[in-house]
């Protein structure tokens, strides 16, 4: 219970509390700086993403314009080629022999020796043996 010792002890506690408060303030300041830096970097990234999207849109428009101009040039050249030649109307021979094709398999000549397929064969009439039962031994 020496007053000098107790005063020294109180002073150390005060210094300890003061140090803790300073450390907490330093941590809070670091967090605040990190948040500000993150927000700035995020803003920069969002701007870059938007610029990249705009560049992609411009590239797509440029590619579509090249494609359409190529189609126009192809159409113009094709039209010039077809206009000079009188290919149309196309004349088609639709005579009776136009669609008769030569066969690649040999044709079999009928010499009359085979039996006539048109003859009818005589057959016996089918009748029921057991009256009412289609299956023998089965009762209703």
DSSP per-residue codes, 58-87: HHHHHHHHHHHHHHHHHHHHHHHHHHHS--
The domain total for the chain is: 1
Domain membership flag for residue 103: no
Is 121 within a domain? no
135 in a structural domain: no
Residue ranges making up the domain that contains 45: 3-85
Asked whether residue 91 is assigned to any structural domain, the reply reads no
Residue 127 belongs to a domain: no
| Domain-embedded: residue 52 | yes
Cα–Cα distance between 61 and 67 in angstroms, integer? 10
Can you give the pTM of this predicted structure?
Answer: 0.37
Asked if residue 26 is part of any domain, the answer here is yes
Whether 7 maps to a domain, the answer reads: yes
> For 11-69, how does the pLDDT look when each residue is reduced to its tens digit (9 = 90+)?
677 777 788 889 999 999 999 999 999 999 999 999 999 999 999 999 999 999 999 99
């Amino acid at each position: 219970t020496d007053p000098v010792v107790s005063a020294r002890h109180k002073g150390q506690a005060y210094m300890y509390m003061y140090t803790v408060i300073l450390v907490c303030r330093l941590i809070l300041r670091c967090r605040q700086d990190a948040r500000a830096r993150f927000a700035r970097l995020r803003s920069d990234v969002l701007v870059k993403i938007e610029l990249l999207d705009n560049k992609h849109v411009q590239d797509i428009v440029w590619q579509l314009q090249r494609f359409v101009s190529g189609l126009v040039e192809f159409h113009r050249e094709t039209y010039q080629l077809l206009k000079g030649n009188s290919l149309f109307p196309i004349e088609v021979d639709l005579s009776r022999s136009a669609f008769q094709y030569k066969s690649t398999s040999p044709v079999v000549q009928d010499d009359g020796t085979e039996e006539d397929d048109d003859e009818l064969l005589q057959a016996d009439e089918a009748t029921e043996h057991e009256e009412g039962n289609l299956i023998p031994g089965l009762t209703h």
